[in-house]
Chain A
Amino acid sequence: MESLMPILASIFIGLGVISVLIGALGLIRLPDVYSRIHAAGIIDTAGVAFFILGMICLSGWSLVTVKLILIGIFLFFTSPISGHAIARVAHLKGIAPHGRDLTATATKTSNTKKKTAKKKAAKKKTTKTIATKTKGRAS
């Protein structure tokens, strides 16, 4: 029993490292904000849970275990709230999802670089029509 716990802890910390690296890779590779929130969610749920389980296996029954469980519960409740808030504020500010065009212009451009250039132009209000359209759409 006593020799089982470090093995279990190393298994959990290894799984935590794997899921944290997957989440960080998704944070780099995914195309826009709304899909990157999913990658951050992997870090905040799987990574935190595996790391905290590993550290609970390392510390026996003590006050440290209670504090670790407290951290786990706190992150379990606050990370979906912050992800939801980031998505909501990004949508209110008119950030278009990947492959969608929130400006609803008549010419359908499949190139995403043109869209981002258009959005930047709309933000600078050099073209007034697109700016008013985005404003009406965002509010």
Chain B
Amino acid sequence: MMLVGGMIGLAVAIMMALVRVALGPTAFDRVLAVNSIGTLIILGIALHGFLMGRPEFIDISVLYAILNFIGTFAVLKLFSTGSLGDR
């Protein structure tokens, strides 16, 4: 019951962050909102593992945390320097 409530709360928060992705005036608002959506998805994957009775889903969650961090930094580097370091 509480796990279903947590999943519903995470889904509502993801929807509210998607509103910011849709109408963010600058690109940095969108990057920030996508980063927050990634964090919420990490929590959602872990909670889904507990909900389904298979907590091994936590491995996917660890992987997604690393991918979220690297993706944010790749997009920000592309914005700031105009390339990804390959001249």
Contacts and interface: CB of A to CB of B under 8 A. Distances in A.
Contact of A71 (B6, B35, B65): B65
A27 B12 CA distance: 13
A13 interface: yes
Interface in B4-36: 5-6, 9-10, 12-14, 16-17, 19-20, 25-26, 28-29, 31-33, 35-36
Contacts of A95: 26, 28
Nearest to B44: A51
Contacts of B12: 21, 24
Given A40-B36, A89-B79, A64 B66 contact: no
Contacts of A23: 13, 36
B28 A90 contact: yes
A28 B33 CA distance: 9
Contacts of B84: none
Given A17-B6, A48-B42, A59-B50, 11 more contacts: A10-B1, A13-B47, A25-B16, A27-B17, A27-B20, A55-B47, A59-B55, A68-B46, A85-B72, A89-B28, A92-B80
10 closest residue pairs by CB, A with B: A17-B9, A24-B16, A10-B2, A24-B13, A90-B28, A64-B55, A13-B6, A78-B69, A67-B58, A20-B13
Contacts of A118: none
A102 interface: no
Interface string A64-107: 10011011001100110111011001101101000000000000
Question: Which of B6, B46, B76 lies at the interface centre, i.e. has the most chain A CB atoms within 10 A of its CB?
Answer: B6
